[in-house]
Every structure is written in C-alpha cells, then in structure tokens.
Amino acid sequence: MHLHNTLTGRKERFEPQDPSRVTMYVCGPTVYSFAHIGNARPAVVFDVLSRVLRRRYGSVVYARNITDIDDKINKAAAEQGVDIGVISDRYAAAYHEDMGALGVRAPDHEPRVTQHLPQILDMIGRLVASGHAYAAEGHVLFHTPSFSDYGKLSKRDSQALMAGARVEVAPYKQHAGDFVLWKPSAPEQPGWGSPWGRGRPGWHIECSAMAETILGETIDIHGGGHDLIFPHHENEIAQSVCAHGGKPFARFWLHNGFLNVDSTKMSKSLGNVLLVRELLKHAPGEAIRMLLLSGHYRQPLDWTEDGLQEARKKLDRLYGALRELADVEENPDEGEFLPFVQELEDDLNTPGALAQLFELATQAHKAGDTVSERRRIKTQLLKAGRLLGLLHQSPEAWFGWAPPRDDLMPATEIEALIAQRAEARKSRQWAESDRIRDLLKARGVLVEDSKDGQRWRYS
C-alpha cells in the first residue's frame, strides 16, 4: 500500500510499525455549530482509509476527537446562557447524525477534551520540566526554538515564520513563534484548576495528549484537512516529539484538499456555507458521499449542484446493475475485484477505484445468462461498495428515495399518472405522453423509459 506523506512530500510505501495494531488519529470537529460539507470531507475520506486499512491489516485503532473546549463554544454558550456542555453535546449529536447519513462509521475512539484534562496537564508538566515550555502570567507557552525540527512539516523556515508574524507579539512570550499550551480563564469563563492557575488548554495540546493516551507515543497515520498543517499539526509534532524524548510522533501525515462551492471558498460572509443537514433535504446521503469521493482526496474539490446530480446518476448506474442482478445471490467464495482494490491502495485513488466499479457495472450488462459470471459481478460490486461505504441499500430503497418534503406527490398519484402516460404512448399520443412527463418533472418526479417499462424516482 502507498500513501502520500506530507512530511516527505512524496508517495511512500506504507508499512505499519505493528501490523497487528495499525494506529490512526484524525482531527475531528469543534462542536459549536452544524457541520458543513467541507467538514464532511475529512470524515468521509478517513472513513474510507480506515476501511482500506482494516481490509489489509485487520486490526486498526482509529481515533477522531471532538474538540469540546474552544472559545467559539464559550461564545455560543454565553450568548445562549447555557453551559458549554449543552452546546457541545447538541452539536456533537448533530455531527454524529449527519456523518451517519453520509455512511461514515463511528471511529473506534472519539475522545473529548473535557475528559482528558489530567492527561493534558500531565503532558504540559513534562514539557515544562524538560525545558520545552515555560510559564508566564498564567499562561504556559511552548518555546519553539527548543525544537530544531520546528517548521519541517509545513516546510517553513522558522526564522521566516517569525519575520512573517503579523500578529502583535504578547509581552509574556519569549519568542514570537511560541504558542499557548495553557491560558488563564476569567472568572466568568469555563476553566479548570492547574499548577499554573485556573484556565483552559490551548487547541494543539489536546490532540497530542489524546493521541498519546489512546494510541501511544508514535502513531502510524495522522490525518486532517490541509488547513491544519500549519500551525496545528506543526505544533502537535513539536509537543509530542519533545514530550517523548525525541521519538517520532506520526510516521505518515495525510491531508485532504479543501472543498469549494461553485469555485468559491465557503465562508459565512459570502453566505455560501452548505450545511450537511440542509443538503440531506435535497439529495440522498449516499449521493453526497459519492460526490465527495469522486475527486482525489489531496486535490481541491469543487461542489456544484450539477456535480451532485452527476453523483446521483453514477449511483443510478451502479444500483441499476445490482437491480439487473437481483435474481442471483452473492458468492461467499468469490474474491474481490483486484483492479479496484489496487486503486484504493495507491494513495486512496477513489476516482480510479470508481472507474473500476463502473467497469464492473458494464460487465453486468454484458454478462448475459451466465449465472456464475453474474454472481461474480454482484459479489465484487458489493464487496467494492463496502470498501467505499457505498451500495449498502437495496436498489429499491435507492430508487425509492424521497426528499423529506411536505409537498411530495404521493406514490399512488404518480403511479396513476404513469399508467395514463403508458396508455397515451400505446395510442401514440406523444404530446400527451410528454405533457405527463413534464408535469411529473415539475413536481420533482423523474420518469425514465426502460425496456421494462416506465421507471420513476424523486429528483
């Protein structure tokens, strides 16, 4: 298996340090609002990677945290006059619901920062004791010049980093690049007791402490969005390596590219932030997942309405093939479609893997009546689908998806119109046939003429 490692800037052969326990940590959401489609990208990408690793190695320990201590959470809680736990529980539950709808499996561990204060304080204590961090005015700061590899992941020269620092340097910092491990909380702010006074942890130390607690000192894979390379992941490395006497932190660093909407960066000020739960009102979760997987994870991905419709059509093709194979059973002795697996093991090439899946679907059309061949194709389609987290429903359920809308035309009414249209076609009243089809289309129902008659689905 090969993976692109941000640390070396190259695609490398991946071998776990212990094949009986592959370890992966991915930075999870800060739970102060609903997840947008950009947040869903790392969740889906690393879900697929965990499946591919599990297929090859069996035992994988995948941890994806929940950041439930954060100033944005504090702000939301203060505005609503509730405890921060109310905000973080609400949005963590929403995150689980939304990711579940996209077929994202729960990770093996989902550590929360509020449950790891002792481990965080312990790690900060070790960094202070070893001279990598210092206390100043209620803060504890990591001293970046104490770590010679600082800047290696993001390929930034630490001097240039300092020269480029635009932010006003706080007077208690010994060096402009030093970053916060612990900061004081005002009496009205959430805070926890520490040897340095009442306060709260910085963002970076959480991940280092939780990864250490759950996965150990050196982990196989660390993932997250491209935006996290600097400063978050650079700082995680500095903390963990220095707390572990110089041992490497993550052997492979993987970063997903950003998702843009109609070629524009998603931002609140532009009003183009697409929430997963809003999208789920217009499209099946599986189509959203398909679109997220149709580009290579390292490339930027452009989200468009056309792309979403395209993703639905791709799934129509795959489920159409499964519908044609409805009369044969899966064959438990059948192997996987290897060209498909090879694409995924080549730096998680999901577009390449999908191309192989469509090739299988084409074979289904050509298989004729050969039962063994049809069983092979069905088995391989479903096995491949499971690796991508697709094709988990019946073709009937896929084609029967209905948007959660009040003005939905009931199926009985649609069936009646379709029968009328069949009559019209029989008597060659093409205009009437088109009229009915357009009427249905206007009500969000797509009709397709197939060799087995008319098929319809909600659009």
Name the residues that contact ligand AMP, by CB under 6 A. Answer: 27, 29-30, 38-39, 41-42, 224-225, 227-228, 256, 258-259, 266
* Binding at 295: pick from ligand AMP, Zn ion, none (beta carbon under 5-8 Å per type): none
Under DSSP, the state recorded for 227 is G
Distances (CA, A) of 221 to 16, 33, 258, 311: 9, 28, 19, 29
Under DSSP, the state recorded for 30 is B
Token pair belonging to 132: 């990598």
Q: How far is the CB of 275 from Zn ion (least distance, A)?
A: 23
Whose Cβ is closer to ligand AMP: residue 42's or residue 199's?
A: 42
Q: How far is the CB of 404 from ligand AMP (least distance, A)?
A: 25
Whose Cβ is closer to Zn ion: residue 121's or residue 250's?
A: 250
Whose Cβ is closer to ligand AMP: residue 177's or residue 224's?
A: 224
Q: How far is the CB of 298 from ligand AMP (least distance, A)?
A: 11
* Binding at 208: pick from Zn ion, ligand AMP, none (beta carbon under 5-8 Å per type): none
* Binding at 41: pick from Zn ion, ligand AMP, none (beta carbon under 5-8 Å per type): ligand AMP
Distances (CA, A) of 419 to 100, 445, 457: 37, 15, 15
Phi/psi for 198 (5° steps) reads -70, 130
397 - beta bridge partners? Answer: none
222 - beta bridge partners? Answer: 25, 253
Task: Determine the Cα–Cα distance for residues 45 and 36; give it in Å rounded to an integer.
Answer: 15
* Binding at 225: pick from Zn ion, ligand AMP, none (beta carbon under 5-8 Å per type): ligand AMP
Token pair belonging to 176: 């402009």
Helices (H), 58-191: 71-80, 84-101, 117-129, 158-163
* Binding at 201: pick from ligand AMP, Zn ion, none (beta carbon under 5-8 Å per type): none
SS3 for 231-277, per residue? HHHHHHHHHHHHHCCCCCCEEEEEEECCEEECCEECCHHHCCCCEHH
Whose Cβ is closer to ligand AMP: residue 6's or residue 30's?
A: 30
* Binding at 207: pick from ligand AMP, Zn ion, none (beta carbon under 5-8 Å per type): Zn ion
Whose Cβ is closer to ligand AMP: residue 111's or residue 395's?
A: 111
Task: Determine the Cα–Cα distance for residues 386 and 396; give it in Å rounded to an integer.
Answer: 18
Q: How far is the CB of 262 from ligand AMP (least distance, A)?
A: 13
Contact of 50 with 62, CB cutoff 8 Å: yes
* Binding at 393: pick from ligand AMP, Zn ion, none (beta carbon under 5-8 Å per type): none
Whose Cβ is closer to ligand AMP: residue 228's or residue 354's?
A: 228
Q: How far is the CB of 34 from ligand AMP (least distance, A)?
A: 11
Q: How far is the CB of 227 from Zn ion (least distance, A)?
A: 11
Task: Determine the Cα–Cα distance for residues 26 and 254; give it in Å rounded to an integer.
Answer: 9
Residue nearest to ligand AMP (CB): 225
Whose Cβ is closer to Zn ion: residue 63's or residue 391's?
A: 63
Whose Cβ is closer to Zn ion: residue 87's or residue 207's?
A: 207
* Binding at 38: pick from ligand AMP, Zn ion, none (beta carbon under 5-8 Å per type): ligand AMP
The SS3 assignment for 17 reads coil
Task: Determine the Cα–Cα distance for residues 320 and 326; give it in Å rounded to an integer.
Answer: 10
Q: How far is the CB of 250 from ligand AMP (least distance, A)?
A: 15
By CB under 5 A, name the binding residues for Zn ion. Answer: 27, 207
* Binding at 192: pick from Zn ion, ligand AMP, none (beta carbon under 5-8 Å per type): none
Q: How far is the CB of 25 from Zn ion (least distance, A)?
A: 8
Token pair belonging to 274: 């697409």
Whose Cβ is closer to ligand AMP: residue 174's or residue 264's?
A: 264
Contact of 388 with 353, CB cutoff 8 Å: yes
Output the CA angle 389-452-421, nearest 5 degrees: 110
